[in-house]
Amino acid sequence: MRQMDLKTELERISAFIRDYLQRYGFNRVILGLSGGIDSSLSAAVAVHALGKDNVLGVMLPYKNSSPESYEDALLVAEALQIRHEIIEITPMVDAYFDHCQADASALRRGNWMARIRMCVLYDLSSRDRALVMGTSNRTELLVGYFTQYGDGACAFEPIGGLYKTEVRAMAKLLAIPQRIIDKVPTADLWAGQTDEGELGLSYAELDEILWLLTEEHLSPQEIEAKGFQSAKISRVQHLMQVSEFKRNLPPVPGEESYV
């Protein structure tokens, strides 16, 4: 993996946040706090860049959400001393599925929850005149592990250049509670769901393969020679390929820039 000076990168990201907000006449940001490491680090970086009074964290639990996720999100909000709100999304989600799509799969329900959460964040951003800040990392963005117009909807992605393993390292630098750093990554969309279980390989392996593919520009054969299984390399390539549409603006006929 690449070597990174975390303190220098923190200051670079912080400057980016300040410059981006200033460019469009904003002073505040709003983000969803899930209790996971990505949203926790995003909040901490925002506080580092803008000060605690300019960051709003919103917890958006569903009735089946893990109680630990809520507790961890609250722990982070209190540790950072940021303003925070709790908005239960169960009535919004169930109003649709109970009356219109009762047989919907867990995946459909999970994607709906992600989009409902972002609708709430955008409404509050209008109330507070704050930009919605994304919480996705480079790993998730590259393999499409986000819901289009759900957690993928935001004004900017401050940690979008950090691989998941680098997120963990920077979280330690900013003194994110250790229990959040150590917890199994999950979107908490249904019981027993884990990120690595859905992706099919560990973040350590995924990060290394992504780095070798996208930054070192090695071929699959060269990556396999470094000890990685061919099936895992193919899996990563497949995830990148089938999710490409998520990373592009909606295409317009006649414009070739999206190809």
87: its two tokens: 């908005």
Q: Which of 30, 15, 16 is nearest to 129 (CA)?
A: 30
Q: Which of 109, 112, 64 is nearest to 88 (CA)?
A: 64
Radius of gyration from C-alpha coordinates of the chain? 19
Q: In what order do the strands lie in the sheet with 83-86?
A: 83-86, 55-59, 28-32, 130-132
| Percent of the chain's residues with pLDDT above 90 | 88
- CB count within 10 Å of CB 173 equals 13
132: its two tokens: 């919605």
Q: Quick one: how far is CA 70 from the chain centroid?
A: 17
What end-to-end distance do the CA atoms of the chain give, in Å?
29
**pLDDT score of 257 more than 60:** no
Please name the residue that has the structure tokens 């994607």. 111
The domains located in the chain, with CATH, are 6-196 (3.40.50.620)
28-37 confidence digits (pLDDT tens): 999 999 999 9
210-235 confidence digits (pLDDT tens): 999 999 999 999 999 999 999 999 99
pTM: 0.93
* Phi, psi angles (nearest 5°) of residue 109: -65, -40
129: its two tokens: 């005149």
In sequence order, the 6+-apart residues with CB closer than 8 A to the CB of 253 are none
**pLDDT score of 256 more than 80:** no
92-140 confidence digits (pLDDT tens): 999 999 999 999 999 999 999 999 999 999 999 999 999 999 999 999 9
**pLDDT score of 259 more than 60:** no
Task: Give 85's pLDDT tier (boundaries 50, 70, 90).
Answer: very high
Alpha-carbon distances of 101 from 65, 113, 149, rounded to whole Å:
20, 14, 20
Average pLDDT of the chain is: 94
* Phi, psi angles (nearest 5°) of residue 26: -115, 155
